[in-house]
Structure 1
């Protein structure tokens, strides 16, 4: 199924510092997908591994601060190596940094109240707020199949949450609220980044460096007020291995962000969300394989609804009419399936 790539106005396209402009659009898309899966599967595993440390779950915001500091260092090194000037106004970065803090901070902190698979399933449904953000921020118009996909995701999300509330002793509605806040921030930031990149032609590393550098100050202020910075530092002083684990976690996340921004630049925010959503589905499987947790068959049905939503979303990107799908299902005598339509 070919994916439509956006025109870049002869702008060079880099993937992890390698120019891939000479590849055709299909190869560019495939390379982005492969590296997203590699880096973010490692990112998800390391995130759950860190929070598996007894007593660490309450320090999600402190981990976010460590993560932002690492990202800032990586971005500063790259900006010095590139020797480039800032292209996006600082006022825009103040907003992007605030949204980035909300995205990662609420996401990390929600693990205090939710199972990791439930947190990931919520993030799988980022398509819904991204569509809303696209309509409000970029005045985009979506097709009926996109709304159908988001409806399937909503139903699957509700079913998964209800299942988790029944089998998980640690379930807390506050975790749902926190991960929902992370989703809202994530939806806005994806569209805001896409709009800024189109308008100012800013490179990926610039967006990462300034967003996380400014975000560090937001986090320092917040954590200093509530006292978490001292409590988190005291806990990690007893378990210094956390800093090394957070380093690996941040490296995989930083490289993953680089690839996602390349995908946003070439395909748009909605396509990037679809690919990262598929990666999150694999993270759920890996989580159940490597970490002990309660399980119910209802997780599977809820997950299948979300997978159906993802599949419908991909069909929509390939301009498949949902009415044609149902017509072909009814006329089985012609021996056509959904795969024949795609």
Structure 2
């Protein structure tokens, strides 16, 4: 699955962007339908991506080679990006190279540290940290793009984090595998994650750049960064030697891992473009719960009741997030609703009176 975005003839201030998934044009769909299509695709590809990420680290002796895996992954992404660039006839770069230098560094940080941390932390423990990026991304949206969020957005993000943390903490109690190096790595990945989505959203909306362009330049420059670092450190030769011992398994897994990740990235960028960074992170955070469930099924993890209660919190958070999009509410609105309802609706009021007061408060 790939996303092709072309700029049609239109007014300079409002370029018309064509959104395509495989051969399906979703441009004329409502934002809700676009959101559902993209979210479903994100779940499919990133569940496979998470499964392959955990599977590849089950290879004996693979633990120290997370950065070489990232180099191979960036190499595949660059090849896929070139293929898509020529297939969609993209010739002119629209985002400044300075922005791509920053995006490449952030992309390298988030993916490199994330991949490497799997070798030092069990997968659920890694997700404990990654699922907490909703609030940093929200803070980044406020600082970088000047966005404003209502109380329901903050409540939704908080519930999402608490639910997923409890969900994964249940497993970490059963089979804990904490390591200081792994904690530092995933924390650095989280910091990069909190910035990259907002930088991508701001750059793509301002320039109208295609997904293929963003992926190609971000990952090819990131590949150059990592290649130079690994050659200087000497870890490049070690990685080649280890992968050469069983190339079908190592490079085979890495190819599937990279392909599902690349297709997932394309859908994520489309979701960023249509719904914004915060909604995108909400979706990708939700899919982490599905990834963990798949991990339990295929990697023989025990089940405890805490998973059900934690999952309920996530479902409530999703509902609040969707409700807040259809019914925006500021902190002032919430304040007045609480104060006025408490003040003017006495105990023993009728339902008719309650409806009347709610209407009055809403209109206020």
Q: Is the pair's TM-score, using the shorter chain for normalization, greater than 0.5? A: yes
Structure 2 unaligned runs (5+)? Answer: 1-12, 342-346, 352-364
CA offset at residue 107 of structure 1?
A: 0.8
- Match of 1:337? none
User: In 2, Cα distance between the equivalents of 1:221 and 1:152?
Assistant: 42
User: In 1, Cα distance between the equivalents of 2:164 and 2:32?
Assistant: 31
Which residue, out of 83, 94, 101, partners 1:77?
83
Shifted more, 285-294 versus 190-199: the winner is 285-294
SS in 2 for 1:14: strand
Which residue, out of 39, 49, 59, partners 1:53?
59
Structure-2 change in CA distance of 1:204 and 1:8 (3 Å)? farther
SS in 1 for 2:196: helix
Structure-2 change in CA distance of 1:312 and 1:68 (3 Å)? same
Are 1:8 and 1:266, in contact at CA under 8 Å, matched by a contact in 2?
no
Which residue, out of 294, 299, 306, partners 1:291?
299
- Match of 2:6? none
Are 2:117 and 2:126, in contact at CA under 8 Å, matched by a contact in 1?
yes
Instruction: Give CA-to-partner distance per residue, 1:126-162, whole Å, 9 cap, x none.
Output: 2111101101110111111222233334545665676
- Match of 2:16? 10
SS in 2 for 1:13: strand
Show the 5 A alignment for 1:99-118: 99-118=106-125
Q: How many residues align?
A: 328
Question: Relative contact order: is structure 1 or structure 2 higher (C-alpha 8 Å, sep ≥ 6)?
Answer: 1
What TM-score do you get using the length of structure 2 for normalisation?
0.80
Are 1:137 and 1:191, in contact at CA under 8 Å, matched by a contact in 2?
yes
Instruction: Give CA-to-partner distance per residue, 1:199-227, whole Å, 9 cap, x none.
Output: 11000000000000000011112222333
Q: Does 1:319 align with 2:327?
A: yes
User: In 2, Cα distance between the equivalents of 1:93 and 1:123?
Assistant: 24
User: In 2, Cα distance between the equivalents of 1:231 and 1:250?
Assistant: 21
- Match of 1:86? 93
Q: Does 1:31 align with 2:43?
A: no
Q: Compute the RMSD of aligned alpha carbons.
A: 3.0
SS in 1 for 2:178: coil
SS in 1 for 2:177: coil
Show the 5 A alignment for 1:216-295: 216-240=223-247, 241-293=249-301
User: In 2, Cα distance between the equivalents of 1:59 and 1:65?
Assistant: 10
Instruction: Give CA-to-partner distance per residue, 1:8-40, whole Å, 9 cap, x none.
Output: 753222224643213333332222122112211
SS in 1 for 2:186: helix
Instruction: Give CA-to-partner distance per residue, 1:255-313, whole Å, 9 cap, x none.
Output: 11111111111111111111222211111100011003466555555555455444433
What TM-score do you get using the length of structure 1 for normalisation?
0.85
Are 2:95 and 2:203, in contact at CA under 8 Å, matched by a contact in 1?
yes
- Match of 2:9? none
Name which one, 1 or 2, has greater alpha-carbon Rg. Answer: 2
User: In 2, Cα distance between the equivalents of 1:49 and 1:162?
Assistant: 21
Shifted more, 312-321 versus 63-72: the winner is 312-321
